[in-house]
Structure 1
Amino acid sequence: MNKKKLIIPFILLIILLIPFGISYFSYQSQQISNEGAEAFSQRLQAALSDHKPFKMSDLTPVDWDKIVVFHPYATKSEMEKTTGITWTTRTSYVGYLLERTFLGEYPLDDDSLNKLVFMKEGSVVLDVTLNRSTADFTAIQEIRHDQELQLAPEDHGHKIVISTLK
């Protein structure tokens, strides 16, 4: 009799844990290490301080074949639709869960932010969110397949606007 009483709560517990297990597996499969984001930011700062044209491939510590520039107010859904994949840079499962709610739908929720997403063979290898006062990439088209992308910084008073060289 006692065994029957224990089986029902055990089955309910298993049923409740299955969605969390699936969600955690999804988190693990979507997580990117984002190693190199800090190195990229430092290299970009150095390149901008020179006020000379530079190649994007010279700044990135990872190998990539496509760059996607997201402008301010781009939603996470738009980013995933544009890239064709879902990814996260969150280092904790709780952060991932919050990102999947309405709280994480607007990672560029301010006019001062833009995002560079570097991809290799259909996977995100680097995701960098930059303040536009540091480097404004909004003059660049959203998707570039050119690893030899030549960029030129232009000083516009309070910010540096990045544009492509023709």
Structure 2
Amino acid sequence: MKRMKNTIILIVGLTIILTGVFMVYGTSYYRSIKINNISTKKFENTLKDKLKSQSSIDIKRCTDFEWDRAYVFPPYHSSNDVYKKVGKEWTNYNTYIGYLLFHDMENKTVSEGQRLIVFTKNDNVILSKIYNLIDLPVIFQVPDYSFTSTDSQFNVEGLAYSNDVKKLVLN
């Protein structure tokens, strides 16, 4: 009887441990789409500084990481539309349980003040960030939602309805 009780405790304990490990590390699919988002702080700060004093900005010079294509999505884009345009699905969630619970809401812009910017290198997403116009007061105007690092020169224009928000128009 005691041996059976120990066996049951061992099985339950192992099940709890394995479930916990699975919830953190997930499936091979989750691990294949998970990105380690690099910090956007330097990019945001550099861009904000240049917006104040320059009439033309090269986005490549605002970044401290290597990239070859960037995508900028305006408000009200679904995750599926974003993934189709970029050509791949990804997640920023550090745990599998976070991915399971919130992935449907991830990487979509849901209000007028939100934009999504995505940087890729060799067709792999290296940075994905939903930003608010309050935090980063810039609207990118690019054809087909994307531009390349070799063609990243933008003219800075003001907006009639806002003194704070600037529009960047691809040259």
TM-score bin (small chain): 0.7 to 0.9
| 21 and 33 in structure 1: CA distance in 2 versus 1, 3 angstrom threshold | closer
Question: Which of 33, 43, 46 is residue 43 of structure 1 equivalent to?
Answer: 46
Corresponding residue for 1:65? 68
- Asked whether the 8 Å contact 1:68–1:143 carries over to 2, the reply is yes
Corresponding residue for 2:123? 122
Say which structure is richer in strand: 2
Identity %: 24
Corresponding residue for 2:168? 162
- Aligned amino acid, residue 67 of structure 1: A
Question: C-alpha offsets along residues 19-71 of structure 1, whole Å, 9 cap, x if unaligned?
Answer: 85884443333222222311111111111111320111001111111111111
Corresponding residue for 1:74? 77
SS of equivalent to 1:155:
strand
SS of equivalent to 2:125:
strand
Q: Does 1:34 align with 2:37?
A: yes
For structure 1, the 5+ residue unaligned runs are none
SS of equivalent to 1:74:
coil
Task: Count how many residue pairs are aligned between Structure 1 and Structure 2.
Answer: 160
Corresponding residue for 2:142? 140
CA separation in 1, counterparts of 2:170 and 2:24? 45
SS of equivalent to 2:110:
coil
Offset at residue 76 of structure 1 (A): 1.0
| 48 and 91 in structure 1: CA distance in 2 versus 1, 3 angstrom threshold | farther
TM-score by length of 1: 0.77
| 143 and 114 in structure 1: CA distance in 2 versus 1, 3 angstrom threshold | same
TM-score by length of 2: 0.75
CA separation in 2, counterparts of 1:91 and 1:38? 19
